[in-house]
Amino acid sequence: MRVNWISLSTNKHHHILVKLAVVILLLGLAFRLFVAHYKGFASDLESPVSEKVQVRAPYVEPPVLVGISENEDHIHLDVITEKCDLFKGDWIPNPSGPSYTNESCPWIENHQNCMKNGRPDFGYLYWKWKPHDCQLPRFNAKRFLELMRNKAWALIGDSISRNHAQSLLCMLSTVEQPVQIHEDVDSKSKRWHFQSYNLTISNIWSPFLVKAATFEDINGVSTAEVQLHLDKLDKKWLDIYPSLDYMIISTGKWFLKAAVYHENDVIVGCHLCPGKNLIELGFEYAYKKTLHYVMDFIKTSKHKGLILFRTSTPDHFENGEWHNGGTCPKTIPAKEGEVKIKDLNKILRNIELEEFEKASAKVAHNEVNLKLLDFTNLLLSRPDGHPGPYRQFQPYSKNKTAVVQNDCLHWCIPGPIDFWNDVIMEIVVNG
């Protein structure tokens, strides 16, 4: 007898398949019962992220804090930030760097164009100002222009004010390039117009804020004493004062120059004038007199715009001063307490704060909006932000050991002075 192995094999195979199907069916039923009982476990297997999002946490009122990020220029117009002392803080790393370059902005003066002049290091560009107790939104050029539609601004003072005006123009130029519509005969006072917003920004050269006759060249070398009238406001800013919606007024280091002082058109004394047979009154006398006179005018003017009085800025000359070989070789910000304010800078600032306090006690009664911009500490820790030898083009191209005049008073653009605009915008927006 022959056994049909194919038939037996086929029957056995069918039998195994039937058993396997029954086992799978029973396992499927058991698994469904298991899933029905532990619903959450099955959902977690399918999409653990989705399940976690669906878990409701207790409701917490969202904070008003505005975080600083690379996209912080895009903060919405209705954001309200915290109130804090904007002038006390630290410089922290800023990987995103400045919002403009020397190539994108045509308004940088050659003496402050550190990148064009060949400064080899760029680390000074990658820091931002962070107040201790709150976040400070980055300057939003588009928002500023919208808020300042049909307004008039003026930055009134010395070359630091001009330095600041160029910084502000560069930041606003990322949205729209302004048109220069005025320049005085000395090319020191200028005015620009942002046509799409009908905004004018003026830089008014008035280093003393009062009437003065000066005799010096572009490098600050004087050929005679300044003739300074302590009781006559400079008409260059006085004439446009009523038409301004916003202004920043400042002065400072020019009062350290040799000068002859006039009051009521009579010479009353001087500062650094040997051989003139005049009373040596000193720069403190003149600075107090001038600021008191300026503040007295402001507080009684009933001006309806915002007036910002800025303190003078520190310099970082080492081993000398502007005229005798001083330098500023630092390439990184100083830590808190590492740099001490110089005695002369401290004297100027103390007089500024004293006269501002006297005026601020009365301006509110006269409905004048006067605020203080005390940037002294903000820039004291930035000895790395000056042009130094790069106030001129390629200073070491012919001689790597050349003796070059350094600028340790003004600020590279772009550079630390840009963050003045962050603070000013916060004051303008949130008061």
**Which of 158, 384, 407, 422 is labelled catalytic?**
407
**Which of 99, 111, 158, 159 is labelled catalytic?**
159
The answer to whether 159 is a known catalytic residue is yes
Looking at residue 183, the DSSP 8-state letter turns out to be E
Looking at residue 63, the DSSP 8-state letter turns out to be P
Strand pairing class (127-131; 190-194)? unpaired
Three-state DSSP at 270 gives: strand
Distance CA 272, CA 175 (A): 48
Looking at residue 207, the DSSP 8-state letter turns out to be S
Instruction: Select from 247, 258, 159, 265 the least CA-distant residue to 211.
Output: 265
Three-state DSSP at 57 gives: coil
Instruction: Select from 242, 260, 388 the least CA-distant residue to 320.
Output: 388
Distance CA 314, CA 346 (A): 9
Neighbours of 294 (CB within 10 A): 21
Distance CA 119, CA 106 (A): 18
DSSP characters over 20-56: HHHHHHHHHHHHHHHHHHSHHHHHHHH-HHHHHHHSP
The answer to whether 239 is a known catalytic residue is no
Per the DSSP assignment, residues forming a β-bridge with 93 are: 127
Distance CA 341, CA 298 (A): 29
Q: Are 422 and 131 in contact (CB under 8 A)?
A: no
**Which of 271, 410, 418, 422 is labelled catalytic?**
410
The answer to whether 407 is a known catalytic residue is yes
Q: Would you name the residues annotated as active-site residues?
A: 159, 407, 410
